[in-house]
Amino acid sequence: MSPAFSLCVYCGSRPGLEPAYAQAARLVGRWIAANRGQLVYGGGHNGLMGMMADACLEAGGRVVGVIPKALVEKEWAHTGCSELHVVENMHERKQLMAERADAFLALPGGIGTFEEFFEVWTWRQLGYHDKPVGLLNINGYYDSLLAFLASAVKQGFMSRWQMELVQSESDLERLLKSLISQAGMASEKKQLDRF
Ligand code: AMP
């Protein structure tokens, strides 16, 4: 049976210092499984990435991992994934993850997470895709980034509509439901557009 949705999640290859991050990563994994969805992620077993994938698999969910061959050892590729794709490089990883996703979500993480999140956001504003993009602001982790982005709007380097392309939320369940329902609406619209 095909999954109800595919959610691509970017998050830290480290666990972070506060237990709230690990807890959120595990909840995301379990929520995807409980709602018969599929997790698409970077395929590693380290940090939040590994915890989220393990939680999803343990709860009976489907997990698609995509990892560049150079990182198979460094990021400890997750051999328990339902599908593990070992690709040539980072560009192929990001492209395949984006293709397999109905929606994107960033959890707390480091520069890899930031880069992936900003890329799918900028692709959205350029019209390369129309998939929803979310930012989970657990424990106020992204408060200072959001404040900086608000100042970029104030200083005239960004538009409000660009900001509105990202949903940032501290309530995990509300954000997940909203992303999945928007992804569903976008795909229904595409099907209608064909007629
Ligand atoms: P981090 O948030 O830095 O812990 O990294 C999270 C994930 O992002 C890891 O799987 C990294 O391999 C990945 N990553 C690091 N750099 C990049 C990049 N330039 N593009 C895409 N992913 C990256």
pLDDT for the residue numbered 83? 97
pLDDT for the residue numbered 185? 73
Residue 190 has pLDDT above 90, yes or no: no
88 Cα to the center of ligand 1, angstroms: 15
Taking only the tens place, the pLDDT of each residue in 21-67 is: 999 999 999 999 999 999 999 999 999 999 999 999 999 999 999 99
pLDDT for the residue numbered 100? 97
Residue 191 has pLDDT above 90, yes or no: no
Q: Is 134 in the pocket of ligand 1 (CB under 6 A)?
A: no
Average the pLDDT over 74-78 and give the result.
Answer: 90
Q: Which domains does the chain have, with CATH numbers?
A: 6-193 (3.40.50.450)
pLDDT for the residue numbered 192? 56
pLDDT for the residue numbered 13? 97
Dihedral Cα 100, 102, 108, 112, nearest 10 deg: 40
pTM (predicted TM-score): 0.94
Residue type, position 168, single letter? S
From the list 164, 141, 42, the residue with the least C-alpha distance to 51 is 42
For the purposes of burial, counting CB atoms within 10 Å of the CB of 123, is it exposed (0-12), middle (13-18) or buried (19 or more)?
middle
Taking only the tens place, the pLDDT of each residue in 126-181 is: 999 999 999 999 999 999 999 999 999 999 999 999 999 999 999 999 999 999 99
Q: Is 50 in the pocket of ligand 1 (CB under 6 A)?
A: no
Phi-psi category of residue 132: left, alpha or beta, with phi > 0 → left and psi -120 to 50 → alpha = beta
Give CA angle at 97 (69, 74), nearest 5°: 30
Phi-psi category of residue 151: left, alpha or beta, with phi > 0 → left and psi -120 to 50 → alpha = alpha
